[in-house]
Amino acid sequence: MKENFLFIYGSLLTPSNPFGAYLMENSTLWSKGCIKGTLYDTGDYPAAIYDTASPNLVHGSIYELGPNRHDIFKVLDEYEGFNEDHLESSEFIRCECEVLAGNEVKICWTYVYNRSYVHLPAIPSGDYILYKKG
């Protein structure tokens, strides 16, 4: 069931981020994974563009959400600047995507960038944590 899984690829991966810590305390790491698309650097955080035709991959983790998933989404939607009633003004949009986890494809929610990215530098590795270490 897709609403039970969330794919994250950026600042939520770090436990020092209060929202990342909240997610980790209220869900279970299911697997590493990646989506087809491109990862960009906005300066303060990464932005993923999901594109099933892309040869590029965005790397991250899949979390299984518990019965309180609606509460988790409420907190994370606010952090990600997602407003379901005002998609045009949302910085990120929560959408379904196919996540590659080993030999399996899992349907997960993820937050994708909802602004122009043509001026943003791409992160060639598709791995935000590796990029930040570099």
Using only C-alpha atoms, what is the Rg of the chain? Answer: 14
pTM of the shown model: 0.95
Residues 55-96 pLDDT 10s: 999 999 999 998 899 999 999 999 999 999 999 999 999 999
Phi-psi region of 76 (alpha: psi -120 to 50; beta: other; left: phi over 0): alpha
Predicted confidence at residue 66, as pLDDT, reads: 85
Predicted confidence at residue 2, as pLDDT, reads: 54
Both structure tokens of 86: 């005002």
pLDDT at 7 over 60: yes
**CA distances from residue 126 to 25, 41, 52, 80 in whole angstroms, order as listed:** 26, 10, 15, 19
Give the CATH class of 2-133.
alpha beta
Domain extent listing, the chain: 2-133
Q: How confident is the model at residue 15 (pLDDT cuts 50, 70, 90)?
A: confident
